[in-house]
Structure 1
C-alpha cells in the first residue's frame, strides 16, 4: 500500500472516530428525545395526565370524558363518560377506585372503578374542582377548588353516591395544583397571589404562605421526596422555581418556555412542560441548578405525566389551528400522546 493511500486511510479513520465521538457527546448532553407519537383522536380538549405505573395505564381527561390508554402501546382501553369540564385524575389502588375532578355543573368529583372503568357515582364538591392527587400515606384524596379558594379532602372509600367531602380548608387565594410530602403537609399553588400555601392536614389549617418570586402566577407543582424541594412552574415571569420545602426559601429560578402547566420529577431531574412546544429538563450539579436540555415537542404539549419505572414522560396535545384571537384551537380528531424518553 502506498504511503499516500495509508495517510488517506488513517485520516478517514480519525475523522470517523471524531464524528462518532461527537455523536456520543451530543447524546450524552441531550439524553432525552421524542421516542413516539401516538395518534389517539377523539373529541375534547385535555388537561392533567395521570400515570398509573403499576398497571401501565394513562388517564387523560378530555373535557366531557376521560380516556384510559395503554402506556406501552397507546391503545385506548376505556373511556369514562359523564363529565362537563374534566380536569384531573387521582388513583387510589387500595380502594380500587379512581377520581376525576369536574369543574362544571357546580363542581363535582366522578368516582369510577379501576378495573372496569364503570362510573360508581358523583360526589358534590365546591365549584371549579381542578387539581387532584391521592396521598397514600394519609389515605386521603386531595382536590382544590379554584373558584372556591379551598382544599377539599375525603377518604377513598367514600360512598360514591351519598358521601360528603370533609369541611373545606380555606386557602386565601385561587389554587391551581398541589403536592403532598406524605407526612400531613400539603403544598398548593395560589396562582392569583403568586404564593405557595402550606397546609397541615392534622390541624386542617394553612401554616405558611411562601412567595414564588422571581417567578409569578404559579401553576405546575412537584415535590421531590429525596431532597425535600418543591419545583414550581410559573407563567409570569416564566420561571421554574426551586423552593426549599421546609422553609420556603427560593434556591433557584430557571428560565422556561411560555405557557407551563405541569412540573414533574424523574431521573433525579425536574421537568417543565410548556405550551410553546418546549420540555425543559433541569438538573443539579454541585449544588447548582441548570437547564440541562430543552426537548422540542409539538405546540400545545403543556401538561404531562411521568413513569419513573420506565423513565418515560407522556405529553398530551393535538394539531392546532392558526391562532386568530386567544389560544389556538385543536384541529378535530388530531389528539395525540407524545412519548419522551432517554437515548
Structure 2
C-alpha cells in the first residue's frame, strides 16, 4: 500500500488496523507438514531435544528417536512394557524413559543403547528433569506418589529415593527450578505443591472452575501455571505466587498436554484442536485445527515448532462407544508452526 493512501485514513482507524494485523500475525499457527512414521505401538508424551532437534516418542514397548527435519527414525530403544515419557539430561549424555509397569529405562543419548533399568513404583508416568534441583521427577498415578532421584544414579544397581506421598493420583507436573514441584492430582481436582527440601506437600490448590487436571506447563516469567483440564474442558491459569486461579478459558475436549512457546501457551486436545492462549493476558488468540487424537505435544524451544503425535482411526460401529482403534501402520506426527 502506498504511503499517500495511508495518509488519507484516520489515525485511529489506521492504528486499529495495524494492531489487528499484528495480533493475527502473532497467532497465525498452522499445520506445516505431517511426518508419516508408521510402525506398531501406542503413543503418549513426546519430548524434543532442542540441541539435536530429535523427537523422543514412546510407542508402548519401545521408544523411537526421530530426526524432525527428515522425519526418519534414527534410533529405537527397546525393552519397555508401557512407555509413557522421556526426560533428557544432555550434560550426562543420558535419557530416562518412564514405564507404567513400574520401572525407568536409562539410555545413552549418543548411541541409544540401554544402560540399565531401575525399579520404580506402579504407574510410573509423567517425567521431567529439573535442572534447578538436579533431579529426575516422575508422577506415579496409581501409587499416589512423586518419584525422585539424581540423574547420576547407577543405572544397574541404583535405588530411587523414597516416594513422596501426594494424597491423590498425579498426572503431569512442573518444577520452578527453586525447589518447588507442582503436580496435578487428577482425581482430586487440585494441584499439590511439593517442597523438595522437606519432601512433603506444603499446599493444595483447587483448579475450580476446571476439573480433572492433566496437562501442565509453567510460565516462570509471569509466575503462572497453565493447566489443561478435562471436566470441564478448560485451560486454568494459577498464580504460583498466590495459588489462586487468575484466568480460565475454554479449550477442546480430551486435552492431555500443555506447552509454552514464546509469548503463548498451548493446549492440545484429542478432538483435533490446539488452543493458543496469550501468556500475558490469558486470552484465547487462535484455535488450530490439527487431527483427531493429537492430544499430546512436544515443543522445540529453539525453533518454536510444536509436534503432536496421532494416527488415523477406525470409525466406531453404530451404537458402540469407547476409544476407536488406530489403523495399522498409520502413526504420524503433525508439525505446527507460525
Q: Same fold (TM over 0.5)?
A: yes
Q: Which residue of 2 aligns with 1:71?
A: 68
Q: Distance in 1 between matches of 2:74 and 2:177?
A: 31
* Match among 145, 149, 159 for residue 150 of structure 1: 145
Residue 252 (structure 1) aligned with residue 247 (structure 2): yes
- The one-character-per-residue Cα deviations of 1:241-276 (angstroms, maximum 9, x if unpaired) are 011012211011100001000000112111000000
Question: 1:306 aligned to 2:306?
Answer: no
CA distance in 2, matches of 1:121, 1:114: 13
1:186-201 matches, within 5 Å, as 186-201=181-196
Say whether residues 1:91 and 2:88 are aligned partners.
yes
Task: Name the CA distance, whole Å, in 2 between partners of 1:289 and 1:93.
Answer: 33
The structural deviation recorded for 1:25 is 7.8
4+ long deviations beyond 4 Å: 24-27
| CA distance, structure 2, for counterparts of residue 192 and residue 284 of structure 1 | 27
Match status 1:45 vs 2:72: no
Compare 27-36 and 63-72 and name the one that shifted more.
Answer: 27-36
Match of 2:285 among 289, 292, 296: 292
- Could you tell me which of 157, 173, 178 is aligned with 2:173? 178
Alignment partner of 1:262 is 2:285: no
Secondary structure of the structure 1 residue equivalent to 2:25: helix
Structure 1 residue 161 displacement after superposition? 1.0
> 1:318 aligns to what?
311
Question: Which among 147, 153, 168 is matched to residue 163 of structure 2?
Answer: 168
- CA deviation string 1:121-161 (max 9, x = no partner): 11001100000000112111001111110001111111111
Indicate the residue corresponding to 1:335 in structure 2: 331
Asked whether 1:219 is paired with 2:199, we answer no
For structure 2, list consecutive stretches of 5 or more residues without a partner in the other structure.
Answer: 1-17
Structure 1 or 2, whichever has the larger Rg, is 1
1:139 maps to which residue? 134
CA-CA distance at 1:120 after TM superposition: 0.8
Q: Residue 149 of structure 2 contacts residue 161 of structure 2 at CA under 8 Å; is this kept in 1?
A: yes
1:206 lines up with 2:171 in the alignment? no
How many residue pairs get matched?
Answer: 317
Matched-pair contact (CA < 8 Å) for 2:265–2:279: no
Structure 1 spans left out of the alignment, 5+ residues: 1-20
Matching residue of 2:54 = 57
- Quote the RMSD (CA, aligned, Å): 1.5
Q: The residue matched to 1:94 in structure 2 has which SS?
A: helix
Q: What is the TM-score when the length of structure 2 is the normalising length? A: 0.91
- In structure 2, which of residues 225, 230, 245 is the aligned counterpart of residue 230 of structure 1? 225
**TM-score using structure 1 length:** 0.90
